[in-house]
Amino acid sequence: MSLKRSTVQQLLSSQELDREVLVKGWVRSRRGNKYVQFIIVNDGSTIHTIQAVANAEQFSEESLRDVGNGACVAIRGQLVASQGKGQAVEIQATEVTVLGKADAEAYPLQKKATSLEHLREIAHLRPRTNTFGAVLRVRHALAFGIHKFFNDRGFYYVHTPIITGSDAEGAGQMFRVTTLPPDNPPRTDDGAIDYSQDFFGKQTNLTVSGQLEGELAAMALGSIYTFGPTFRAENSNTARHLAEFWMIEPEVAFNELEENMDLAEDFLQYLVRYALEHCPDDLQFLNDQYDKELLTRLSFVTDNAFQRLTYTEAVEILKSAKQKFEFPVDWGTDLQSEHERYLVEKHFKKPVILTNYPKEIKAFYMKLDEDGRTVRAMDVLFPGIGEIIGGSQREEDYEKLLGRMADMHVPADELSWYLDTRRFGTAPHAGFGLGFERLVLFVTGMSNIRDVIPFPRYPKNAEF
RNA sequence: GCUUCCUUAGCUCAGCCGGUUAGAGCAUCUGACUGUUAAUCAGAGGGUCCCUGGUUCGAGCCCAGGAGGGAGCGCCA
């Protein structure tokens, strides 16, 4: 019977020594002398590596020639207690097979430090680094934790469309989806492009948000969430924006603003706790390597209630702050990054939820407050990354919603399907959007959002 | 889109006031070393100084334009 492959993770945590094992993975390093060689292997199951020892009596120089940095190998041998310091167990190799060679002269990944900017240019190989291995494992854990959180609380996962016929969602610039020939599209009599001849018989785009469709589902299933790709064709060049990113959008019937805040806070604390529990080694590595405050900051999020205050209260605090701001604070204008950072990092020193923004600076679907000046919006602000969640209680009143759409020049006829929820059995409801990569950014302590997604898309870049 | 900084060996970076044959560490290759931990030690090979044009006796260095990248800002998640 053939020996089953063990992962590095299984071998390192095994109490069962002096048995034959088989490991397969990629060589991180080989060193030694003419009597003994040490082969360091990682297989992605953990950030840690396992050491295989090859004695010269069994392995000629020639047989290990191709066992170099980056090569893929299968190693069979005895799992034994290590004679050396630095690891508890190691494999005394009896058979080393090279599954895939890696030319040492050409292999782009070095054993020593390589900049994150350079790794971005070789994004097809960067998962083999410690850093990206850790980031991708944490990313997975967070994705899994999101589904678990909602499933455990009776939410249904709803798949909203990626191609949308609506261009009025108001969340940002959209990417057009078309099969018309770009050099010579069919035209109508007045010279405009004739989209009636396009694939869908109309103009279509990639979604900027699943929220409107999510609201439809919540008006039937009660509690739902979406988790899917989202696209923004904005020329945003920052460490916090991507043209293609993943968004989580829960929507809950009968929830009002207060319950929406409770959900957002529980959700974020749960996810940070989930990552701490399931990825301790990866987070420890990221803490040691990139951000010595990371674990402290994560614990701070799980251990402290978020500070809740209204936009109006925040403006008062900022106006009386001793700190000089580049942009003046005035009621009615949106807060700048510097203002949000002051509130979170200097004034409260904890995550902040800002609510009840002026209606002029928020979306048409947010519920109007009694005073007629503000809406039941909420933004969750995190240290370092700013807005991680944006949400609101939705306007459930048909007439008021129509009025808001008219004020903000949102075409009601294109959104008749959305308005139908208010015409037939409307109900109070609330939800929010969480940018998945911003969460991964916060939890990993990475500083650029392009380093927390395998293949980032941003202006002038769609490689791989 | 705006502001600002950067681009020199495979990688990370020095390079003085514009001066003759452009450097270091790591990586690679060769050799040494009986258990290494980013092994160590010795030696060798390795360059379109981002591109185009200009100034100058002479440009990696100064000037103009272009390309690419970082940071900050705006838009937002």
Instruction: Using alpha carbons, select from A246, A165, A159, A231 the residue that is nearest to residue A200.
Output: A165
Residue A90 shares a structural domain with residue A150:
no
The reply to whether A422 Cβ lies less than 7 angstroms from strand B is: no
ipTM of the assembly?
0.88
Q: Is A23 exposed, middle or buried (0-12, 13-18, 19+ CB in 10 A)?
A: buried
Q: Which nucleotides of B are covered by protein (CB under 7 A)?
A: 1-2, 10-13, 25-29, 32-39, 68-77
The reply to whether A85 Cβ lies less than 7 angstroms from strand B is: yes
Contact by Cβ (8 Å): A428, A396: yes
Structure tokens at A424: 């037939």
- Does this model's pTM top 0.90? My answer is yes
How distant is C1' of B18 from CA of A204, in Å?
Answer: 59
pLDDT at A225 > cutoff 60: yes
The identity of residue A50, as a single letter, is I
The reply to whether A90 Cβ lies less than 7 angstroms from strand B is: yes
Q: Is residue A456 assigned to a domain?
A: no
Quote the domain boundaries for residue A88: 8-100
β-bridge mates for residue A63, sequence order: none
List, as one string, the DSSP characters of A57-80. Answer: TT--TGGGTT--TT-EEEEEEEEE
Strand A5-6 vs strand A163-164: parallel, antiparallel, or unpaired?
Answer: unpaired
pLDDT at A1 > cutoff 70: no
How distant is C1' of B70 from CA of A117, in Å?
Answer: 8
pLDDT digits (tens, 9 = 90+) for A201-218: 999 999 999 999 999 999
How distant is C1' of B67 from CA of A236, in Å?
Answer: 19
Q: Is A6 exposed, middle or buried (0-12, 13-18, 19+ CB in 10 A)?
A: buried
Q: Is residue A368 assigned to a domain?
A: yes
Cα(A130)–Cα(A136) distance, integer angstroms: 10
E strands within A139-237?
156-157, 163-164, 176-177, 204-206, 223-231
Which residues in window 262-321 of A are less than 7 A from strand B by Cβ?
none
Say which residue the tokens 């080393």 belong to.
A96
Q: Is residue A113 assigned to a domain?
A: no
Residue A154 shares a structural domain with residue A242:
yes
Residue A165 shares a structural domain with residue A57:
no
Q: Is residue A196 assigned to a domain?
A: no
Residue nearest to nucleotide B74 (CA to C1'): A236
The reported pLDDT for the residue numbered A168 is: 58
How distant is C1' of B47 from CA of A103, in Å?
Answer: 22
Measured CA to CA in angstroms, residue A417 lies from A162, A216, A220 at distances of 17, 9, 14
A16 versus A108: the higher-pLDDT residue is: A16
On average, the pLDDT of chain A sits at 92
pLDDT at A325 > cutoff 70: yes
Q: Is residue A37 assigned to a domain?
A: yes
Question: Which nucleotide C1' is nearest A438 CA?
Answer: B77
pLDDT, mean of residues A244-270? 97
β-bridge mates for residue A36, sequence order: A55
Residue A71 shares a structural domain with residue A159:
no
The reply to whether A36 Cβ lies less than 7 angstroms from strand B is: yes
Contact by Cβ (8 Å): A44, A37: no
The identity of residue A292, as a single letter, is K
Length of chain A: 464
pLDDT digits (tens, 9 = 90+) for A178-201: 999 988 899 999 999 999 999 999
User: Can you say how many angstroms the Cα of residue A219 is from the centroid of all Cα atoms in its chain?
Assistant: 27
| Buried b / exposed e along A217-242 (16+ C-beta atoms within 10 A) | bbbeebbbbbbbebbbeeeeeeebbb
Instruction: Report which listed range, A12-16, A65-69, A428-432, is most confident.
Output: A428-432
**Domain containing A366 — which CATH number?**
3.30.930.10
Q: Looking at the 3D structure of chain A, how many domains does it have?
A: 2
How distant is C1' of B28 from CA of A462, in Å?
Answer: 32
Residue A264 shares a structural domain with residue A322:
yes
- Rounded to the nearest 5 percent, the helix, strand and coil shares of chain A are 35, 25, 40
Q: At what angle do helices A257-278 and A294-303 cross, to 10 degrees?
A: 140
Q: Which residues are CB-neighbours of A97 under 8 A, at least 6 positions away?
A: A73, A74, A75, A76
The reported pLDDT for the residue numbered A286 is: 94
Q: Is residue A290 assigned to a domain?
A: yes
Residue A63 shares a structural domain with residue A136:
no
Q: Is residue A116 assigned to a domain?
A: no
Phi, psi of A142 (to 5 degrees): -65, -40
Cα(A228)–Cα(A414) distance, integer angstroms: 24
